[in-house]
Structures are given as C-alpha cells and as structure tokens.
Amino acid sequence: MSCAINYENVIIGLESFVKDMDNFKTKSIKKALKGLSVTLQEIPNTLTECSNQGQRDYLRMHHAIKALEFPTTAEVFDKKFFALNGIDITFELKSIVESFTKGKMFDLGFNIGALLAKISGSGIIISA
C-alpha cells in the first residue's frame, strides 16, 4: 500500500469520525472512537512504509490507539463532557473535529497527538 493510499484512508476515516461525533451521546462517541482507532491504525502503517521510523513508534501509537478501541469505561457526563477510562477527553475530541472541519491539517495532527498522549497508559494494554 502506498503512502498516498494510507493518507486518503485517514481523511475518509476522519470524515466519519466528525459525523459520528455530531450526536455527542455515549453510544455515538464510542462508535466515533472505535472508527478513529481504525483510522489511526493507518498512521503507524504510513510511518513504517514512508520513513525509516520503526517498531518503537509503531508500538507507542498502537497502545494508545487500542485504548480508544477497547475502553474500560466510556461515558458522557453533565450532557457535555466525555470521559474515556475515567479521563475527560472532551476538549481533545472537539479540537479534532474543529481542526478537521476547518481544514487545519497541521493543527489536526497536534490535536490527535494530544488525545493519544492523554489516553496512553489508560485502559487495557493490548500487545501488537
């Protein structure tokens, strides 16, 4: 698979994430996060295929992505906040939606990174 195909898959997945986030109910957010997990799995593949980055970057990202896909807990509270594995990630989710819908791809990368950094180490760690 080429770098361009991976990039296209990421864009399609992010469009789906934004659509699912629109509802802001626990079920739709969990669906959005599971979809984001699948989408983000393209990034480590791209790292591996498009650069000399290796196993270390892949494993770090893989563990954070699996926390999105298999959360221990996921809930909306006070009708406007969302917690994953007990961590409030509302700001990060809304920042991802905003940067993507405004076409700010540079900011989008940082916002996704902030989400992954915040949830890394939370929930179940599943080996690569």
Order across the sheet with 87-88: list the strands.
74-77, 81-84, 87-88
Report CA-CA distances (Å) from 58 to 20, 81, 114, 116: 26, 30, 17, 13
Please name the helix (run of DSSP H) or strand (run of DSSP E) that holds residue 115, with its range, or none. Answer: helix 105-119
CB 20 within 8 A of CB 31: yes
Give the count of beta carbons closer than 10 Å to the beta carbon of residue 126. Answer: 12
Asked if pLDDT for residue 90 goes beyond 90, the answer is yes
Tens digit of pLDDT for each residue in 34-48? Answer: 888 888 877 766 666
Q: Are 20 and 29 in contact (CB under 8 A)?
A: yes
Average pLDDT over residues 40-61: 64
- pTM of this prediction exceeds 0.75: no
Whole-angstrom distance, CA of residue 45 vs CA of residue 96: 21
Q: What is the pLDDT of residues 19-35, one digit of tens each?
A: 988 888 888 888 888 88
Taking only the tens place, the pLDDT of each residue in 62-73 is 777 888 888 888
Spacing of C-alpha 62 from chain mean position:
11
Percent of the chain's residues with pLDDT above 70 = 74
Phi, psi of 12 (to 5 degrees): -60, -45
Q: Which of 34-43, 75-84, 92-101, 117-126 has the highest mean pLDDT?
A: 92-101
Q: Is the pLDDT of residue 89 over 80?
A: yes
> What pLDDT score was predicted for residue 125?
47
The pLDDT-based confidence of 97 (bands split at 50, 70, 90) is very high
For the chain, the average pLDDT equals: 79
Please tell me the total number of residues recorded for the chain in this structure.
128
Provide the β-strand partners of residue 76. 82
* DSSP letter, residue 37: H
